A and B are shown apart, each in its own frame.
Chain A
Amino acid sequence: MSQTSTLIPGATGVWGGGNKPMNASYGKLMMWFFLLSDTFSFSGLLIAYGMLRYRFPAYPHSPTDSFLPSAEHWPIPELVFDAVPFLHGVHLPLVFVGIMTFILILSSVTMVLAVEAGHRMDREAVQKWMLWTIVGGITFLGCQAWEWAHFIDGKGVGMVVKELVDGKWVEAMVYGANLEANEYGPQVFANLFFFITGFHGTHVLSGIILNFIIFYNVVVGTYDKRGHYEMVEKVGLYWHFVDLVWVFVFTFFYLI
C-alpha cells in the first residue's frame, strides 16, 4: 500500500523529496534498517550462546537416567524448563515454552489482520485486532515473568559446587539461579538465559507500549484524519520482528 504522505507536493528529483527510494516511505524504510541493526544485536547474543555452549561438553544422558546437573557439563534445556504453572512437580518438558511460542505467533497474526484492516481504512477492525495483539503481548510477558521467577527460585534439588574459601576447596550447595549461582549447570548458562530472554522481553515490553500508543491514536481517529494507517504497518513490522527473534531464541536456547 503506497501512500503519498511523505512526498512534498510539487517537489521533483530523487533528493528533492519528489521520489521514494526503494518504493517505500521514509518511516517504513527507517524501521526496516533499525530492525536490521537489531538483528545484529540479537545475532551477537545468540552466536555468543553457541560459542560458549560448545566450550562445554554435552551432558551425558540416556532417556532412562535422571538429570543431575553439574557445573562441568552443559545442561539439557528441556530438562531444565519442564515446569508449568499450577502443575507443580509434574514433569512437562518444554510445554510452557511451547504455549508461550504459540501465544506470540498468534499475536503476530492479529497484528497482520490489524495492518490489513488499516489498508481498508476500517477503524473498528484495526481497533479490535490491535487490542488482541496487545492482550497477546501482555500474556506473553506475564508467562515470561513466571518462567523467570521459577528459574530464579530453582527446583529445590540444588547442585554441589566447589568453592575456594580461604585457600581451601570446599563443597557447597547452590539452590536456584542468579548471576552468581546456578543450580542447573555452568554459571554462564544462567547468565545467558537472563541476558537473552531479558533482552527479548524488553523488546516485547517496548512493543506493547508502541502498540498501545498507536492503538490510542486509532481510537481518537488520528489516522482517519491523516488519510492512511501507515503507522499501524510500521509498528506491525516491529512486532513481527519480536516474534521472529523469539522463533530463533526458542530453537537455539530451548531445543538445541
Chain B
Amino acid sequence: MMETTNNNIQVQPADPAKIKKIWKVAGILALITAVEFVIAFTVSSGMPRNSLFILLTLWKAFYIVSEFMHLKHEHKVLIWSLGLPVVFIIWLVIALLNEGSAIFSYFVG
C-alpha cells in the first residue's frame, strides 16, 4: 500500500508576512463584532442603528470573502460571475421588506 511514498516533498518555511496578514484580518473581524456589541447596548433601536449593523456586517462579509476565501486574488471573471448574481438578492431584499410593511399596514387598518 505504501509503495508510492513521495520523497521529493519540499516543505517550505512559513512566510511571516502572510501569517501576520491572516491574524490582522482575524483581529479586524473580532473588532467589528465587538463594536456591534457596543452599538447593541448603547444606541436605541431604529432605522439608523439597523443600517449601521448592516453596513458593519457587509464589511465583515467582505473581509471573509476576499481574504479568507481568497476571492480578491482570483480571476476577475470569477469575481464577477459570483458577485453579479448577488445583485438579485439585494433586489429581493428591498422588494420583500416593502411587501412586509404593506401586509403590516393592511393589518393595522
Contacts and interface: CB of A to CB of B under 8 A. Distances in A.
Given A53-B100, A112-B68, A101 B33 contact: yes
B65 A244 contact: yes
Contact of B57 (A102, A108, A111, A251): A251
A237 B12 contact: no
A23 interface: yes
A24 B22 contact: no
A109 B53 contact: no
Given A50-B96, A102-B33, A120 B12 contact: yes
B40 to A, nearest CB: 6
Given A24-B74, A112-B68, A256 B37 contact: no
Contacts of B81: 22
B64 A108 contact: yes
A58 B104 CA distance: 11
A140 B86 CA distance: 28
A255 interface: yes
B64 A247 contact: yes
B74 A78 contact: no
Interface residues of B, number: 55
Interface in B68-96: 68-69, 74-75, 77-78, 81-82, 85-86, 89, 92-93, 96
Contacts of B93: 43, 47, 50
A102 B30 contact: yes
Interface in B1-45: 4-6, 9-14, 18-19, 22-23, 25-26, 29-30, 33, 36-37, 40-41, 45
B23 A109 contact: yes
A51 interface: yes
Interface in A78-100: 78, 93-94, 98
A225 interface: yes
A25 to B, nearest CB: 11
A48 B103 CA distance: 13
B21 to A, nearest CB: 10
B33 A248 contact: no
A181 to B, nearest CB: 22
Nearest to A61: B45
Interface in A25-62: 29, 32-33, 36, 39-40, 43, 47-48, 50-58
A251 B57 CA distance: 7
A121 interface: yes
Contacts of A36: 82, 85
Contacts of A122: 11-12, 14
13 contacts: A23-B75, A50-B97, A54-B101, A55-B107, A57-B104, A93-B40, A93-B41, A113-B19, A116-B14, A120-B13, A240-B65, A243-B68, A255-B40
Top 6 nearest A-B pairs (CB, nearest first) are A54-B100, A51-B100, A23-B75, A22-B78, A120-B12, A251-B57
Given A39-B86, A109-B68, A125-B14, 20 more contacts: A23-B74, A23-B75, A24-B74, A50-B93, A54-B104, A55-B107, A58-B45, A94-B40, A101-B33, A102-B30, A105-B30, A111-B68, A112-B67, A240-B68, A240-B69, A243-B64, A243-B68, A251-B36, A251-B56, A251-B57
